[in-house]
Amino acid sequence: MTFLVVCAIYFLVPFFWLFVSATKNGEDLVTTYGLWFAPHFNLFANLQFLFTYNQSIFVRWLLNTLIYAGIGSVVATVLASMVRCWRAWLAMPWPNIALLAAVLSFRSS
């Protein structure tokens, strides 16, 4: 149980630090304690600056990321389904050797 608590703290503290840092302005980042909130809560001002900076370039980057991730996941799902159907259709006695050969053929040097 102690191990799980330590692991949870280890993985959750960076997210807490990220949220706390997002609520600070530039001066508060260097003058206040890193793991606690500053006297001035600037989260909404920081988010407004983020989404309006350079003609909303961050929104474009966010949409590009979603498009690439969406297309990549669809392509990966289709390819995995095709490989599974191929393995089921082939039904050879040594499918693991055939799969190993297919995987090794895509290996880069």
Q: Under DSSP, is residue 36 helix (H, G, I), strand (E, B) or coil?
A: coil
Q: Which residues, at least 6 apart from 34, have a Cβ–Cβ distance to it below 8 Å?
A: 17, 20, 21
Question: Rounded to two decimals, what is the model's pTM?
Answer: 0.63
Say yes or no: 63 and 100 in one domain: yes
Kindly state whether residues 60 and 47 are assigned to the same domain. no
Q: Are 107 and 61 in a shared domain?
A: yes
Given this model, what pLDDT does residue 25 score?
93
pLDDT of residue 85: 80
DSSP assignment letter at 23:
T
Residue 46: exposure state from Cβ atoms within 10 A (0-12, 13-18, ≥19): middle
Write out the chain's pLDDT in tens, 109 residues: 999 999 999 999 999 999 999 999 989 999 999 899 999 999 999 999 999 999 999 999 999 999 999 999 999 999 999 888 877 777 666 667 777 777 788 776 5
Residue 34: which of 21, 23, 19 has the closest Cα? 21
Residues 91 and 108 in one domain: yes
Does residue 86 share a domain with residue 41?
no
Which residues constitute the domain of residue 47? 1-52
Question: Residue 92 has what pLDDT?
Answer: 64
